Amino acid sequence: MNDAVTTRSIVVERTLPHPPEKVWRALTRAELISQWLMPNDFQPEVGHRFTFRTRPMGDWDGVVQCEVLDAKPHERLRYSWVGGSPSARLDSVVTWTLTPTDAGTHLRMEHAGFRPENETAFAAMSPGWFRILERIGDVIEADEA
């Protein structure tokens, strides 16, 4: 990796009217994640490798290869996110940070590591993550646990 490259991140933040425990469930239960993101075989264990799978688009096979890098219950979740077209592979990291507030939980999502050649992915995912954060609220709302 050439450190001289300029990289960009997508950051979206939202305060949810639910305690961190309930937000954490939505971020870490495979069946709940699939409701706001993509089908997956996620498990909240450091070192666990998993994939997100969606329909292939262009020269991308629709698979995101991930590995859990950090999982501190109710506080912080971090996984690598590698995918995209072979000609512009996206080698990135997603970090979720949960902070309790009087009203519930402040949720911050940072997707870091977009290099200049990942411009197409950045342009697509920047509004995409915004909508996903809105959707997480609906999934938590519907989660009876």
CB of 77 to a copy of itself, least distance (A): 18
CB of 110 to a copy of itself, least distance (A): 7
Q: For residue 134, state whether it binds a copy of itself (rule: CB under 8 A).
A: yes
State phi, psi for 22 to the nearest 5 degrees. Answer: -75, -35
Provide the strand spans (E) within 18-132.
49-53, 63-72, 76-83, 90-101, 104-114
Name the residue nearer to a copy of itself (CB basis): 8 or 22. Answer: 8
Name the residue nearer to a copy of itself (CB basis): 8 or 76. Answer: 8
Q: 3 to 22, contacts with a copy of itself by CB under 8 A?
A: 3-15, 17
Closest among 29, 10, 38, 33 to 130, alpha carbons compared: 10
